[in-house]
């Protein structure tokens, strides 16, 4: 199911006015941590004090971060400031997605079913397994030599 069919089948949800409040949330994915601040504005997104399009060069990463905004029909309503540390670009995009979704549910809890249905509120706990002693990697053994 794509975003447009979800938006057509569900009724509109009244988004309360933020006023001068700033909503903040944290998202994590792999080793990336994203702190998201959301305030009323024109839809400007900055990541580590750089424009959103300049930081995330891949379209799928930009698409992932704005997905919760599209599902909640709030694109262009809020300014987002995202501070990300650690991980690679894909992990950072996943962390920012979770942070944006968590900010939106602080705004109104009526968005929870929409965001949960798409999997935007679920923390992806998968991470790199640690290397063990006596092994070449997490599970890989050293090469066996019979002679």
Tokens of 24: 């903040």
Residue found by looking up tokens 């920012």 in the block: 96
Alpha helices in 10-145 (DSSP H): 52-55, 59-71, 89-107, 112-118
- In this predicted structure, what is the pLDDT of residue 11? 45
In the prediction, which pLDDT does 14 show?
79
Q: Where are the domains of the chain?
A: 3-118
Give the CATH architecture of domain 3-118.
Answer: 2-Layer Sandwich (3.30)
Distance CA 34, CA 125 (A): 15
- pLDDT confidence of residue 18: 79
Question: Which residues, given as ranges, of the chain have pLDDT below 50?
Answer: 5-11
- Residue 50 is predicted with a pLDDT of 95
Helix (H, G, I), strand (E, B) or coil at 48: coil
pLDDT value, residue 4: 53
Q: Which pLDDT value is given to residue 26?
A: 96
What is the DSSP code (8-state) at residue 143? P
Identify the pLDDT of residue 23.
92
Alpha carbons within 13 angstroms on the beta-carbon side of residue 106 total 17
């Amino acid at each position: 199911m794509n975003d447009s069919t979800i938006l057509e089948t569900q009724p509109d949800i009244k988004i309360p006015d933020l006023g001068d409040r700033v909503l903040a949330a944290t998202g994590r994915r792999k080793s990336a941590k994203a702190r998201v601040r959301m305030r009323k504005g024109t839809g400007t997104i900055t990541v580590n004090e750089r424009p959103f399009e300049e930081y995330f060069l891949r379209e799928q990463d930009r698409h992932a971060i704005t997905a919760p905004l599209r599902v909640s029909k709030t694109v262009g309503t809020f300014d987002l400031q995202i501070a990300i540390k650690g991980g690679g670009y894909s992990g950072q995009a996943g962390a920012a997605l979770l942070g944006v979704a968590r900010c939106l549910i602080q705004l109104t809890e009526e968005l929870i079913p929409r965001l949960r249905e798409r999997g935007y509120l679920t923390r992806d706990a998968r991470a790199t397994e640690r290397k063990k002693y006596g092994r070449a990697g997490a599970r890989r053994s050293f090469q066996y030599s019979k002679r």
